[in-house]
Amino acid sequence: MSIKAGIDMVMVPYNYQLFTSNLLDLVNSGAVSVDLINQAVSRILTAKFELGLFENPYPDTTYIGDIGSEPHMHMARAPSLRFC
């Protein structure tokens, strides 16, 4: 029912088969309309097109080695330290 609440993309890392089955049951019962699913898919695809994810689907890995480094972690912590 999260789709009816406005969630366009549901991220289900585990047991996605159950989610898919339940959603299909909701669509078949009329509780969730195919039109609602199509609208959500349209918004997702529009956002991906606007971000250029179909033309350039891979991230820039130039700074991948910086992730998790001490300067990177310091920068990530800085905003929370302002409130301590």
State the pTM of this model: 0.67
pLDDT value for 81: 84
Question: Residues 19-52: pLDDT tens digits?
Answer: 999 999 999 999 999 999 999 999 999 999 999 9
Q: What percent of the chain has pLDDT over 70?
A: 98
Mean pLDDT over 10-16 rounds to: 88
Which residues 6+ apart lie within 8 Å of 48 measured at CB? 54
Distance (Å, whole) CA 40 – CA 65:
35
